């Protein structure tokens, strides 16, 4: 974590990759594919929009969209049915109690998602979910997060549409601006530790572009303290870029506040220990889901989710870092991911043998 924050270069626009037959078979096998009554392109038929402004009168880069009266009733009904498929048993028994409070469209970034706000009018509780284009990179990212991180993810695929649950938390940039200074010294140390682990997790599973607005910080009250966790919310840049720096969150200038915190609160031996802990936990998760991760990686190896130039560049950089000759033979992002996980497993097993001998 001694690397200086810098302006890491990311491709201006990552192409969207359609779901291959290999990935579709995997998704069917693990019950990710489900028929839904509305798709992404149906929502593109909106006829008007207004800017969504936050409490400080800043433009959020979201547009609240509106539909013709002739279509609005059907669209809202179908969005409520999708909510029940994602969060419940798919029945329509409660549909009269649900209200579509807002349909927002994001004009920023690669995925251009729609954000749906569903409210239960009996108690005014509300929940969000997202409707996106089903890009293969993003789906591999969601699955790798589901398997290798502490967090399960709920999503549905249907044809070219991805329905994705909302991940609650405070966006990192908002947290650094409005909350970090209010944290106690022990809380700041805890946040520093969590970012080290988060960074290690992103690097290992090649999740890129984890700038402050692409992850959330989640405070949870536990007895007499607040526990902080860090969780990715954007999976568009999974295994695409050819520059290894893109997969290292500590190198983004947007994360400077937490990098400064790490320098202030943690010594190098602690940082190394937290990295070792995170690697060990990932290995245990992988071993506990061996059939699933193997199936996902086999699909990823056959799939095209990046360009050859990026694969070759990333292969050379990781080989230079690890000196593992197996990386030289990587022909796809799936090959790199498989070799990376095997490298991790091998190191874990070697250390385990040393401890037992």
- Tens-place pLDDT, residues 124-180: 999 999 999 999 999 999 999 999 999 999 999 999 999 999 999 999 999 999 999
pLDDT at 7: 63
Band of residue 348 on the pLDDT scale cut at 50, 70, 90: confident
pLDDT at 290: 96
Q: Give 239's DSSP letter.
A: S
Q: What is the pTM of this model?
A: 0.92
Band of residue 10 on the pLDDT scale cut at 50, 70, 90: confident
pLDDT at 11: 63
Band of residue 5 on the pLDDT scale cut at 50, 70, 90: very low
Is residue 3 pLDDT above 70, yes or no?
no
Nearest CA among 246, 232, 274, 88 for reference residue 146? 232
> In the chain, pLDDT over 90 holds for what percent of residues?
85
Average pLDDT over residues 233-247: 96
Domain ranges in the chain with CATH number 1.10.1070: 170-356
Tell me whether residue 38 is exposed, middle or buried, using C-beta atoms within 10 angstroms of its C-beta: 0 to 12, 13 to 18, 19 or more: buried
Band of residue 357 on the pLDDT scale cut at 50, 70, 90: very low
Band of residue 354 on the pLDDT scale cut at 50, 70, 90: very low
CB-CB contact of 50 with 63 (8 Å): yes
CB-CB contact of 211 with 246 (8 Å): no
Q: What is the mean pLDDT of the chain?
A: 93
pLDDT at 92: 84
Residues 33, 71, 126: CA angle, nearest 5 degrees = 60
| CATH architecture entry for 170-356 | Orthogonal Bundle (1.10)
pLDDT at 356: 52
Is residue 2 pLDDT above 60, yes or no?
no
d(CA 14, CA 237) in angstroms, rounded, equals 8
Tokens of 287: 């071993």
pLDDT at 89: 84
Nearest CA among 212, 246, 251, 248 for reference residue 232? 212
Dump pLDDT digits (tens) for 252-310: 999 999 999 999 999 999 999 999 999 999 999 999 999 999 999 999 999 999 999 99
């Amino acid at each position: 974590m001694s690397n200086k924050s810098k302006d890491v270069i990311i491709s201006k626009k990552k192409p969207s990759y359609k779901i291959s037959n290999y990935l579709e078979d995997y998704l069917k096998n693990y019950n990710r594919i489900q028929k839904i009554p509305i798709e992404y392109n149906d929502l593109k038929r909106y006829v008007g929009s207004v800017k969504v402004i936050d409490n400080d009168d800043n433009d959020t880069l979201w547009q609240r969209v509106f539909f013709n009266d002739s279509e609005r009733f059907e669209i809202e009904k179908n969005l409520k049915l999708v909510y029940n498929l994602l969060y419940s048993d798919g029945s329509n028994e409660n549909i009269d109690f649900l209200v579509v409070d807002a349909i927002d469209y994001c004009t920023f970034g690669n995925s251009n998602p729609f954000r749906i706000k569903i409210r239960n009018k009996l108690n005014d509780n509300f929940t969000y979910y997202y409707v996106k284009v089903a890009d293969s990179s993003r789906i591999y990212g969601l699955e790798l997060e589901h398997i290798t991180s502490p967090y399960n993810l709920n999503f549905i695929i249907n044809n070219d549409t991805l329905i994705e649950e909302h991940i609650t938390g405070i966006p990192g940039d908002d947290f650094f601006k409005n909350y970090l200074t209010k944290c106690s010294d022990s809380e700041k140390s805890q946040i520093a530790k969590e970012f080290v682990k988060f960074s290690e997790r992103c690097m290992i599973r090649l999740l890129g572009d984890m700038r402050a607005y692409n992850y959330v910080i989640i405070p949870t009250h536990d007895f007499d303290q607040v526990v902080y966790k860090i969780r990715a919310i954007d999976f568009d840049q999974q295994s695409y870029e050819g520059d290894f720096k893109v997969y290292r969150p500590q190198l983004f200038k947007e994360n400077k506040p937490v990098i400064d915190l790490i320098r202030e609160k943690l010594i190098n031996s602690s940082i190394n220990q937290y990295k070792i802990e995170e690697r060990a936990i990932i290995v245990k998760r992988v071993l506990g889901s061996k059939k699933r991760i193997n199936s996902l990686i086999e699909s990823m190896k056959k799939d095209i989710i990046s360009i050859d130039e990026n694969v070759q560049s990333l292969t050379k950089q990781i080989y230079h870092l690890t000196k593992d000759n197996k990386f030289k033979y990587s022909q796809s992002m799936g090959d790199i991911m498989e070799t990376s996980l095997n490298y991790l497993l091998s190191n874990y097993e070697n250390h385990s043998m040393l401890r037992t001998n």
